[in-house]
Each structure stands twice: as structure tokens, then as C-alpha cells.
Structure 1
Amino acid sequence: MLGLPFTHWSLAKLKEAAEKKKIVSSIIRVILDEAKITYQNTKTWKESTDSEFEIKKKRIEALYDCPPEDGRVICVDEFGPLSLQPYRGKGWFQQRRPKRLRATYTRPHGVKHLLAALHVKTNQLYGHSSKSKKHADILRFFNVLRRRYHRSERLYIILDNFSPHHHHKVKAWAKENNVELVFTPTYASWLNRIECHFGPLRKFVLEGSDFRQHKDLASAIQAYLRWRNKNKRIHIFYL
């Protein structure tokens, strides 16, 4: 950028560069506003290389737009790993008296994972804590989902290409239990609507927390899910 070793500009650096170019620094904000330029976080993006991208995408969009009358559309994904550590965050505190969290250098308690599901029609979220996310864990969670609905209702489960999802035992279970596994295209997990719900979960449960036991973290997550399901209209989505 103008031969300077920056990846981005702060207002102070813009001001300094503008003064060297004999530009009045006080109008920098005006110029930025008129150009509709705001200070934003950069994001990564990966294009799907799936040869059947359009076919799979249209199939998932059709399930969202016109849910089948013979069943229910469920989005499934895993959230984690969840470790017992202080999570930095933001909050409202007295001036110059921010909340202090302990520092940790060893984490001997291992990790857990949240297996989560979103019922598209009712917009209800469900989750179960798990020590791992192997195919056996996925099957246990799927059995819980299957028991929530009458077996005559077909479940259309939208999920990504995580290898345990493709395990032959998982696919065999689906055929035996009136379940259709609908996989997102490669590198296109954003088509799974449950993805946008993990941001608020991370923000309102993890950020600023310091749980000492996994059971306490799991209880906090369940409490948030119950609150969220009762207050869907005021729920804020973070992508």
C-alpha cells in the first residue's frame, strides 16, 4: 500500500499519509462515509469443488423452501471442541475495572463436543454433549432424534461431509429408520442452516466464561438452548 509495510490502515496512519499528500485530514471520515467504506474484519472463503454442487445445492434449497409433507427437515452439525479454559469476551463493567479471568497453561480435563440439531420448520435447537464425535456418537444422537418423531415421519437430515457421517453403519441405519441423509456439497457447509446458530452460542455462553467442570459447561449450553427456543423472535444471528 503506497510502498508502506501495512496490510490495512488505521485512521492515524491514514491521517499521516494524507498530511504528506497535503490532504486535509479532517475530511478523511467524510470521504470514507461518502464512499460507503467501513472498517470490517476480513473473512476467508473457499469455493466448492464438488462436481454436483448445483444439484446438491438445489436439493437442499428445495427442502428449505418446500418441506416435504411426509416428514421433517433437520439440520445437524457438531460444535467444538469444548475445553475447560477461560474464554476472553466483552461485557459491561465499571470503567477501568474489567472482569479478570485466570490464565491457564495446562488443560488436563480433555475436551467435549456438542452434537446439535435444528428443526427447520419450528426453528427449535437441540443439543447433546459427547466425549467424542465418532460414528457411534453420531448414531446415538440420530437415535435420539429419531425417537422425537413418529417413525412414519421421514427425517431429512442435512449434514456436511465429516467422515463419520459417511460411515457405512450410519448410512445403513438411515435406510432402516426412514431417514434420508442429505449431504451439503464439498466446502459448502454454509448451506446448513444450523451453522449460523453457533455464533450466538459461542458469544453468549463461551465468551467471558471460565467453567471448571464439563458438566457445568454442558448445563450452561442447555440453559441457553432452552432460553433461545423460547425467545426465537428476539434472537440475533451472527455469521
Structure 2
Amino acid sequence: MPNAYTRTSIVALTDGERAELISMARSRSLPAALALRARIVLACEGADTASTEVAKVLGIDRNTVNKWRGRYVRDRISGLYDELRPGRPRTVDDERVAELINKTLHTKPADGATHWSTRGLAAETGISKSTVARYLQAFQLKPHRVESFKLSTDPLFIEKLREVVGLYLNPPENALVLCVDEKSQCQALERTQPMLPMGLGYVEGVTHDYVRHGTTTLFAALNVMNGRVLAQCRARHRHQEFLDFLRAIDKAVPPELDVHCIVDNYASHKHPKVRAWLAQRP
């Protein structure tokens, strides 16, 4: 029979509430505890439903049924969600956090190290290294990492930058845009044994031993539109070799196309003979 608590906590559901509770009870994405609470409320619907019977059917304690039955009657569906818990009090106040961040940004370790480590900051500030790591992550501070940058002294840098980017993004009609560069000091290695081809269950294999054949320089021109590369390997990377590579590009490109070569400021690219050859082909 329903007891006094049951009679004062009668669960009456509207059609909308019942549909939402059924969806919650059947959901596989919601937390299991929330689905169980929805099933408790559905089982308690009606004036003559005892919490003891609901607990026996669901295999849980009667006090659990009473708790969520009362929460639903008082707060409806929002009462089935967990309330905010205060948790453990903070042991590091805002002033100590500010000290940690300021020390990370504006000081260097006294032992001559190039950057702070979590253990070094922990010893310096009296905060545990795990807490230091959490605050560094929260503020996106990475004192162990360095990124390089380059400032151009060319007064026409902005104009040249816009011209180069414009060629990449919007090349002219009947034109070919090539990114040209060289990679020197490439080791020319030859394996002492033939390569083992890839097969079912094992990867391609090469012997560990090799024979050195000195170094070579790779000249390459990348077609930015289709990703194709025109390449040559030469023994040196003087202006003579670069000029020969430009002649190879000139022969490989159809004559009806204008060629735009984008290169860096390497000395061999600006040699007078290279400039003279380019001036004959504006």
C-alpha cells in the first residue's frame, strides 16, 4: 500500500513529459544514471504506486526511488539532472596563478637554462608540477617550444609578397607558374643488397648497409596548379647549373605559355649571366 510519503509525492505526467521520459529511458547516448531516473519516474506515475514496489521491480533501493520521485515532483525533468557540486576548494589563489604566469612569460631560470620546465616552475613558485602543467595548458603557454621568424629588410617586400601570392592564387591566362629551388648536400646512397618487395603480411625491406657516392644537388620546379615536378640532379649548385636548369625548363614548357618562375634570393639566382639570360626572355 502507498505510504504517507508516496501520497504526498504523486507523479502526474503530461503527454509531452511522458514522451520525453520514455526517450530518456531508452537512450543509449545519455548517462546510465539519467536513464534509470527516467525509468523510476515512469514507474511511479499514478496515485496508487508505492515506492517499495517500484524499487522491487527495478532492483534498486527504496530510498533511491523516493529521492528521484520527490525531485521530479518538485523540479520536473530538470530535477533529474545532477546538481552542481562544489568540489574540493582551490589551493592556488589568483595571485599565485598570476605570479606563475608572469614568471613564465618574463623571466628565465637562474641556473642558465634556456626555458622553464614544469619542475623548475614548481620549485620556484611552490606549486606542484602537475598543477603547473594544468595552468600552462589552460593559458596555452609552451615555454619548451620556439618558432623562428624572419623580418625582411627589403623596402618593397609588401609589393613583392602581393605579387607572388597573386601568382599562386590567380595565375594569368596562358601562363605557367613554377616554384623553383634547389636542395644541396643530398646524400647519394646505394644499398649493398637488392630491395625486398612488399608482400602480403610484410613491408618493403632494405638492407641496413649502404655505399656512399658523395652528395648531389637536386634542382626542382614545382607546377603549383597540378603538383608536377621537373627535376635534375647536378654535382654542384653554382649559377652555371642553375642556368642549365632554367634552359631545361624553357625546353620542357610549351612555347605558347608564358613562364613565371618564383625563386628565393640565393646568390646564384641573381648572377649577372642569369639576369642577362632572363632579360632575353621577358
For the 8 Å contact 1:151–1:177, the answer to whether it is kept is no
C-alpha distance 32-151 of structure 1, shift in aligned 2 (>3 A): same
Amino acid at match of 2:156: E
Partner residue in 2 for 1:51: 155
Partner residue in 2 for 1:89: none
Equivalent in 224, 244, 258 of residue 140 of structure 1: 244
More RCO (CA 8 Å, sep 6+): 1
Give the CA deviation at 1:79.
0.8
**Does the alignment pair 1:150 with 2:254?**
yes
Q: Distance in 1 between matches of 2:155 and 2:109?
A: 41
Partner residue in 2 for 1:233: none
Partner residue in 2 for 1:68: 172
Unmatched 5+ residue regions in structure 2? 1-107, 190-207
Give the CA deviation at 1:48.
0.6
Q: So what's the TM-score if we normalise by structure 2?
A: 0.49
Q: Distance in 2 between matches of 1:138 and 1:22?
A: 60
CA offset digits 1:185-227 (Å, max 9, x no partner): xxxxxxxxxxxxxxxxxxxxxxxxxxxxxxxxxxxxxxxxxxx
**Does the alignment pair 1:4 with 2:120?**
no
* Bigger CA radius of gyration: 2
The farther-off stretch of 41-50 and 137-146 is 41-50
**Does the alignment pair 1:37 with 2:138?**
no
C-alpha distance 130-2 of structure 1, shift in aligned 2 (>3 A): closer
Q: Distance in 1 between matches of 2:263 and 2:250?
A: 15
Give the CA deviation at 1:130.
0.7
Unmatched 5+ residue regions in structure 1? 86-100, 179-239
Q: So what's the TM-score if we normalise by structure 1?
A: 0.57
SS for the counterpart of 1:72 is: strand
Q: Distance in 1 between matches of 2:229 and 2:269?
A: 20
Give the CA deviation at 1:142.
1.4
Identity %: 28
- Structure with a larger share of its residues in helix: 2
Amino acid at match of 2:140: K
Amino acid at match of 2:184: G
Number of corresponding residues: 159
